[in-house]
Amino acid sequence: MTTVYCFDPLFLEHNLTGHPENRARLEHVMATLAATGLLDRMALLRPRPVDVELLTHVHSEDHVTTVRRLAGRGGGRLDADTYVGLASYDAALLAAGGAVELVRAVLDGRAHNGFALLRPPGHHATRERGMGFCLFNNVAVAAQAALDECGLERVLIVDWDVHHGNGTQDIFYDSPQVLYFSTHQYPHYPGSGHWRERGEGAGLGFTVNVPLSSGVGDGGFRRIFAELLTPLAERFRPELILVSAGYDAHWADPLAGLFLSLAGYWQIAQTLVGLAERLCEGRVVVVLEGGYNLTVLAHGVADTCRALLGDPASGPDPLGACPWPERPVDDVLGNYTAARYPLKRQP
């Protein structure tokens, strides 16, 4: 079965020297995947720009127009954190389109699973605005395509970035078709993601936030994915799993304070691949989000690719285990009851 990756050099043209989210992130990832032989084991899927009609099912026309016009004027900023350059609008269209093309390939049988190696990232982009380094919400557009074009009824989005994916939550907050599950440091940027944020209307209970204090590491994540995500996924029975994959929860990342190691990332990647094999014929698509220690980012992506390929072990860990004691998560897990997340078991 084929594992595919999506990449295009245009993703590198969205760039601002000195900004944490710059082209060096993806350059380092691609160089590491090539050096380890992983690129040769996966098939390249060239992206196409997302159809603007699909994009405006997820984002407002005003937001899309704002990004296009700002790029057309040579660039600027959407906010203090989020830049737009001359090539950023085209790169963002291609990034969202790449996530969509990868979902289409998995759903029509051309690929078993895959990794969208793209930027700019997306999970902070809401319906109305870009923020947090994000222009368009790539994973949300891909999920919407799966629902609208491919006839799916249930999509699981797992967001393991250290920052809460407020944009993805915003877009699907009232939808029972998308189960959004996020682990993130809290309180931390962007300030959302309390466990009490559970969705609304028909979507009540289909948003599952797991806010974590600094210091939660491999053991805590292992318990959260085994004791909370797995039973929720088994009740929801997704037809596709999408992953917003940030590698900034690592203990060496400069922008946050969770204590995952590369071994911990390997474990949660394996958990999700295993869930996909059991619940939805292996259909899982991983979409790159954050991660700002270049060594961690590149090796984390490489290990996730190994999990997608079915390798029995992770690759080398140049940084090793977290040197500090981990915080337990018993109090975190106590916030979740079936009454608060009344997902009915799907046939």
**Catalytically active residues, by annotation:** 124
Which residue, among 182, 206, 204, 201, has the nearest Cα to 193 in the 3D structure?
182
Residue type, 200: E
Which residue, among 246, 270, 259, has the nearest Cα to 320 in the 3D structure?
259
End-to-end CA distance of the chain: 26
Between CA 120 and CA 160 the distance in angstroms is 17
- Cis omega (within 30 of 0) on the bond before 120? yes
The single-letter DSSP state of residue 84 is: E
Quick one: which H or E segment has residue 301?
A: helix 294-309
The single-letter DSSP state of residue 134 is: B
Detail the DSSP E strand segments found in the chain: 3-6, 43-45, 75-77, 83-85, 113-116, 155-159, 178-185, 207-212, 240-245, 284-288
Render the burial of 153-186: b for 16+ CB within 10 Å, e for the rest.
ebbbbbbbbbbbbbbbbbbbbebbbbbbbbbbbb
How many beta carbons lie within 10 A of that of residue 16, not counting itself? 17
Between CA 138 and CA 315 the distance in angstroms is 28
Say which residue the tokens 């995500």 belong to: 229
DSSP result, 195-227? TT----GGGTTSEEEEEE-TT-BHHHHHHHIII
